[in-house]
Structure formats: C-alpha cells, structure tokens
C-alpha cells in the first residue's frame, strides 16, 4: 500500500546518553516506510540516512544530555528526514567544511574518496557521503549558533498501480 499524505510523519527525541536508541530509531523508520510504501530499498535508504545523521548528532553533541530530535515527514513529492541537535562549538567549522566537501561534485567520486580516507584515519566522516551516494538523497544543513539541523531528502518511489 502506498500512502501520499503530507500529514504522515513522526518524531523521536533522546540524548546521546541513550546511544542505543539510534538502532531502534532506524528499525522504526525502516518499518514505517516499508509499511507505507512497500518498497524495501526505499525504506532501507531512508532508515540508513536517519541512522547516519543520528550517529553524527550524538558524536558531536554539546553534552551527553542535550536533546537530539529526529523527525521525518512525507511531503508531496519527497520524504524528509531531519536531525536537530546542539553541537559543541568547536565541531561547527569541521561540520560546515565536511558538509560543503560532500555536497559538491559527483556523489560516487566523493564516496570513494571518503572510503579511501577512512582506511588511514580514525574518523572516516563517511556518513554524509554515504547518505548522498547510497541513499540517493539530497542533503541540507542549517546552522543557528550551536543549533544544527541536518536533513536528507528522498524522492518518493513511483506510485505502484
């Protein structure tokens, strides 16, 4: 069954202290979109993006108790996954630089570069490149002081008759 209703969506809120909720949220997102669209590939891509964005938010959070919000919504032609958190100020320039580097150029080339870099570095910073290439998503970022909103947008799968 395929649903296309802009009122669909949900939000999960927790803190980095509850890191294990990231996997639970991924399962929930995959189930939601699997049931809504009957497209396992699509639901896996959206769930992977939620997982990657949540991991980043938890890693770079301003504290172990700062809230992280993960919301997703179904819009007219796309699904939007947003993760919002308060990042530690020293991480903001790195985040901006990483976002800019990942969103410029060919998604496959950037993904391969990041995978190669991950072999020699403790920090792979592969998540955003993975979302863009494997997830076939468009990325967005909004920064207001230490408040970070990262989003991944996915074109809805073709309606099945």
Pairing of strands 147-155, 138-144: antiparallel
Tell me what pLDDT residue 160 has.
Answer: 41
Residue 74 · residue 133 · CB < 8 Å: no
The domains of the chain are located at: 9-155
CATH architecture of 9-155: 2-Layer Sandwich (3.30)
- The rounded distance, in Å, linking the Cα atoms of 152 and 81 is 5
Q: What is the mean pLDDT of each run of 10 residues along the chain (161 residues)?
A: 60 90 93 87 96 93 94 89 94 91 94 88 83 97 94 82 40
pLDDT at residue 124 in the model: 65
Distances (CA, A) of 1 to 65, 67, 85: 39, 34, 33
Q: Which residues contact 121 (CB under 8 A, 6 or more apart)?
A: none
- Residue 1 has a pLDDT of 40
In 3D space, the residue among 133, 124, 107, 112 whose CA is nearest the CA of residue 45 turns out to be: 133
End-to-end CA distance of the chain: 10
Among candidates 34, 26, 37, which has minimal Cα distance to 2? 37
């Amino acid at each position: 069954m395929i649903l296309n209703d802009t009122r669909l969506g949900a939000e999960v809120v927790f803190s980095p202290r509850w890191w294990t909720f990231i996997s639970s949220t991924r399962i929930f997102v995959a189930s939601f979109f699997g049931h809504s669209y009957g497209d396992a590939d699509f639901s896996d891509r959206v769930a992977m993006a939620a997982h990657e964005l949540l991991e980043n938010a938890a890693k770079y959070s301003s504290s172990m108790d700062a809230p992280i919000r993960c919301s997703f919504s179904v819009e007219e032609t796309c699904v939007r996954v947003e993760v919002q958190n308060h990042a530690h100020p020293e991480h903001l320039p790195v985040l901006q630089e990483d976002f800019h580097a990942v969103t410029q150029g060919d998604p496959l080339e950037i993904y391969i570069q990041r995978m190669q870099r991950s072999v020699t570095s403790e920090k792979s910073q592969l998540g955003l490149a993975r979302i863009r290439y494997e997830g076939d998503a468009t990325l967005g970022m909004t920064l207001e002081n230490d408040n970070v909103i990262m989003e991944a947008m996915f074109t809805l799968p073709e309606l099945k008759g």
